[in-house]
Amino acid sequence: METKSENRCHGGVQGVYSHASQACGGAMTFGLFLPEEAADAPVPLLWYLSGLTCTHENAMTKAGAQAWAAEQGIALCFPDTSPRGDDVADDEAFDLGQGAGFYVNATAAPWAPHFNMWDYITAELPMLLGRNFALDMERQSICGHSMGGHGALTIAMHHPERFRAVSAFAPIAHPTQSDWGRKQFTAYLGADETAWAAHDATLLMRERGFDGPVLVDQGTDDNFLDLLMPEALAEAMTARRQEGAFRMQKGYDHSYFFMSTFMEEHVAFHAEALYR
């Protein structure tokens, strides 16, 4: 593992690190914020999964999460959204290929050799973090935005024993029925739609729900509402009587201005679960 940078931040340290990834077949970069408490003892970990076109850097520099994480004594991990490099498959469209891993393990060519973000987020990176940093891996929580909200919800519902809470900002809520999903699942997983269901938050909510609290915030002025399909997830949460809240925030769009506005509430939501 290589240290790219480390900066003092809200009493703690915001680091950026790279490492050779077996899951993704190349170098991967992630950001990790450690509050000052990590100098004395392992601290809980909150994952933040970013959306389309993002790297590890977008949320790290725009979401304003470190201030609230420092207040709660929580670490933040900002992974990248896909493998990258000259030898990694890509597409001219912004919503497929590099920057658009969709948090799945690709099984179809030409994506399969590198696009294994599910294994990277759920297995490889957690192991690396646990071995190298002062983190309490028994206390984890997860959140994300847009494509990352999709990833956070689906990963949490598959691993409820690992995550104490899950939250999402404007998640891609029903990808098997949306152009933000059908296009990518066809490319990464093939045309057999039965393989897609495991990565659809609405279908997973209907089938199993989450054994813990869920918080979803969606802006009413989001220009991608038709692609996100938030109403499907809201209906599934209500039908399942899922613990948590689905909130429509009047006037907010899909940008980091939206996320930074409600980030304090999301970090506090996770802190309550992590310190319960």
Q: What is the rounded (10 degree) CA torsion for 259, 264, 267, 272?
A: -140
Separation CA 237–CA 88 (nearest Å): 37
Provide the 8-state DSSP code for 105.
Answer: B
Phi, psi of 57 (to 5 degrees): -85, -30
Burial class (CB in 10 A: 0-12, 13-18, 19+), 203: buried
CA end-to-end distance (rounded Å), the chain: 33
Burial class (CB in 10 A: 0-12, 13-18, 19+), 13: middle
Say how many C-beta atoms besides its own lie within 10 A of residue 231's C-beta.
Answer: 15
Three-state secondary structure string covering 153-215: HHHHHHCCCCEEEEEEECCCCCHHHCHHHHHHHHHHHCCCHHHCHHHCHHHHHHHCCCCCCEE
- Any catalytic annotation for residue 222? yes
**Mutual orientation of helices 256-274 and 65-72 as an angle, nearest 10°?**
10
- Any catalytic annotation for residue 254? yes
Catalytic one of 21, 141, 146, 167: 146
Counting every residue written for the chain, the total comes to: 276
Catalytic one of 145, 222, 266, 270: 222
- C-beta of residue 31 within 8 angstroms of C-beta of residue 16: yes
Considering only CA atoms, which of 156, 172, 121 is closest in space to residue 244?
A: 156
Reduced to 3 states, what is the DSSP secondary structure of residue 270? helix
Catalytic residues: 146, 222, 254
